[in-house]
Amino acid sequence: MAPENAKPEQDGEKAASSPELTAIPAAKHFHLHLVSDASGETLTTMAKAAVVRLPGAKPNRHMHPLVRNPRQLAVVLQHIEASPGIVLFTLANPHLAELLEKRCDELGVPCVPVLRPVLKAFEDYLKMPSRPVVAAQHTLDADYFRRIEAMNYTLAHDDSQRTDDLDKADIVLVGASRTSKTPTSIYLANRGYKTANVSLVPNIPPPPNLTSLKNAFVIGLVASAERLSEIRRNRLLALNSNNFEDYVDTDVIKNEIAFTKRLCSQNRWQFVDVTRKSIEETAAQIIAIYEGNRS
């Protein structure tokens, strides 16, 4: 039996002693060097994916792109020596990779060839060697120019502009206002897909060639009426305007969404619900649908 003068255990004290609660780790700052013979986009993506899984990790990122000869690598090594930290690299030139790994070993810092285990798995499984350095670089250059071409096309075909040559697109996004057509198009362009987007409004016919495209792949974007109303209200607030009641009316928006779905159904287009989805998630789903229909 507890003594009469013992204080009852408070909820706060009980919670504090609970083993189920884990304290958030203090911020840990560190240097992160990303060394690439191209843009470094692959390294950036992989680094972000790793850091997000480490609460409190605060990288001071150092980008070292286009490292293609020993002189350029020497400059990078000076930076690493001045600010030691984790090194991630993608260098197709084996001599440069060896120099980097050797110096990092001398400095006592981790040096990770992020593509090497992936490439090794491909080589072993396919029983074939990887391409020589020059061919690999040509591939990188071709991919770069493909993305530039895609971005130029996408910017010129935003929000129902230049609908006369929609069939030159890889992907055409259709949907009501504020269904994230433009940012999704830009994201897809950065992945190398020429993307046009067309706004759909009930009682206004879509571009006449939209329903007869032979090469472009059309995908509809929809969202819940409540979510679209919320986004549109925020948009009007940003513009300091409140003169568009129909624009935010959920019944009107439901009609717009139904129009998009009906048009998709009539033309056997698939659609993606973007409600509460990030641009990256929406784009990933679109790419999966697009590539799945090509195979």
Neighbours of 42 (CB within 10 A): 15
Tokens of 17: 């002693």
Q: Could you tell me which residues come within 8 angstroms of residue 8 by beta carbon, excluding any fewer than 6 positions away? A: none
Tokens of 28: 């840990």
Is 180 annotated among the ligand-binding residues?
yes
DSSP 68-113: -SHHHHHHHHHHHHHS-EEEEEE-S-HHHHHHHHHHHHHHT--EEE
Q: Could you tell me which residues come within 8 angstroms of residue 22 by beta carbon, excluding any fewer than 6 positions away? A: none
Is 90 annotated among the ligand-binding residues?
no
Is 181 annotated among the ligand-binding residues?
yes
Is 178 annotated among the ligand-binding residues?
yes
Question: First and final CA of the chain: distance in angstroms?
Answer: 74
Helix, strand, coil shares, percent, the chain, to 5: 50, 15, 35
Q: Could you tell me which residues come within 8 angstroms of residue 283 by beta carbon, excluding any fewer than 6 positions away? A: 184, 187, 188, 191
Please give the distance of CA 149 from its chain centroid, rounded to a whole number: 19
Report whether 249 contacts 288 (CB < 8 A): no
Give me the torsion for CA of 264, 175, 259, 281, rounded to 10°.
70
Is 182 annotated among the ligand-binding residues?
yes
Q: Which residues are annotated as a binding site?
A: 175-182
Q: Which residues are annotated as a binding site for ADP?
A: 175-182
